[in-house]
A and B are shown apart, each in its own frame.
Chain A
Amino acid sequence: MADTTNLSRAGAVPAHGDSPLVRRTLIAVALGFLGLFLILPLVLIFSQALAEGVRVYFDAIREPDSLAAIRLTLVTAAIVVPVNTVFGVAAAWAIAKFEFKGKSFLITIIDMPFAISPVVVGLIFVLMFGATGWLGPHLAEYGIHLLFTPAAIVIVTLFGTMPFVARELIPLMQAQGTQEEQSALTLGASGWQTFYHITLPNVKWGLLYGVILCNARAMGEFGSVYVVSGRIRGETNTMPLHVEVLYNDYMITAAFAVASLLALLALVTLAAKSIVEWKIARDMRLASAAAGEAPAPDGESAP
């Protein structure tokens, strides 16, 4: 929700008059805070996961229920991420490239899944698709049962991860304006060509980051999935749920082993984010350098 793509991350601004003591204290406080809340938990996950050795670690992951959980999580993400990417791109195009009434309200609505408690999302889908719910009985007549199936998990995950791509793209596309697209259109490019050759390359890193973040959330969704899954082992147990099941089964090492996979995913997400930010900053530098040398290269890249 916070604009996480900080475009300019220039070198440190000189610290005006902060004495070395103040500086060291503040750095220590900041690092201590992050260490206590971020680094230590991360270290703990891996040390607990490997507490009984590498063999036990891999056995815990290779166990059929764990594998099934990993598979389900991957399948869920494979469905949810593309759908929400299509949505994100479409929403960003409509919102960033056009002016219309109620725009900020629409953005607020898109943000809703950020702020709604995941268990409320789960409850809503129980009320809708439950056997005693509003739609459940009608769907059951056709032999369709959604609640407590992987389909329910996909649907609530769609809900929860809806805003990520859109929220990354909207500010980026707004910042880029519409001039380049207009030039391309003037030069006779079709709308699709314009999107593909002008807009997409301009926002590709932001899009990538949105997709990565959406993926991380899709794989980590817990509260809403907890409510609609039924926790059938090997069938509707996602990785985060499996972590909980193992943890409550006193299989602490196994729980942390599965958790460590998710933590790895988080680290990969962070690394990808750093790379993307660096790419964006580089592209911006290149663009401004190019603009400085040769003004208005508009439309050149259009076919």
Chain B
Amino acid sequence: MTRQVQEAYIVAAARTAVGKAPRGMYRRTRPDDLLAHVLRQAAARVPALDLAAVDDVIVGCAIPEAEQGMNVARIALLLAGYPQSVAGVTVNRFCASGLQAVAMAADRIRLGEAEVMVAAGAETMSLIPMGGHHIAFNEAVFARGEHVGIAYGMGTTAETVAQRWRVSREAQDGFALESHRKALAAIAAGEFRDEIAPYAIEERRPDLASQSVAVRARLADTDEGPRADASAEGLAKLKPVFAAQGSVTAGNSSQTSDGAGAVILASEAALARFGLTPLARFVSFAVAGVAPEIMGIGPLQAVPKALRQAGWSLADLDWIELNEAFAAQSLAVMRDLDMDASKVNPLGGAIALGHPLGATGAIRTATLVHGLRRRGLRRGMVTMCVGTGMGAAGLFEAV
């Protein structure tokens, strides 16, 4: 069946530290600047690679408009100093955009039509809010009632999943607390040091007193989301946001965030040509659709599909990066797929680390491939639910 002619390997993976949105460290930092930074830094990790060999740069972005609009991939790769001969394309599969970029880049190589590809993701929710600056729904969504799920906000879908899968508030809060604990422990242990490429933020603010531009520089090298003060009592006090009698709170939902990540993929021939050491092999990728109003359970369909394509079983996986869009959907997915909780998000998830929509897939791929190598593990997965009712899953194997 497969028309694959060669393997695709990840040879470099870098990401920014993730900032909180809309009032975090990157609140005025442009997404194209963050993206150019990770493109540059990923390349810097493989200095032997001639960037002219890069065929295309595929960038995932969930809301590609304004500062991250107009094909941000092409703009950022030029800003990053890639040769003009390198092309760029921006792709959107909402929350799976970054992972989609990795899969598409891998497939160009696997098909034999490219030897070196770059995949990335970028999203600055501080500047471009969820839904974008100009939300404009189609009246047909409401015409006969059957498509109303398209209008469901993400939180509303999480409440729907919490109800249908009977995920309690206590379980959600417990899961959230654990996410913060794991993330803080990982930061303390330096687990993210390999993947994070520190970014020098430069803020330019008017100093009205001196009538001059005050430049404030600081280095962003640590994820901003994890909270040392998270507590069961604190989480229990939060009010449900999306339903009057609901269970989904700001505390057990992913954080809105800013960040970017990039990975470089190469064929076996390119490995040899440039003397590159692979971090991991791209194994398979799958997407699947579900009802929009329960978008959170998307991985229930996508994960088995991806495993089937690889000929793996869930038990074969050593490390699962399950994007914590909401504790409610994460718990529902883990329970229905019978995931081993100890393998899920060992370094914390989006509830603590943040979820910069289209960047998340690239960022978590970086986390996974570095983590597998560091811990001497082999098989891993990045999976997430996707707005408007989808799931995505990508499998990787350390080499």
* A and B associate: no
Residues of A within 8 A of B (CB): none
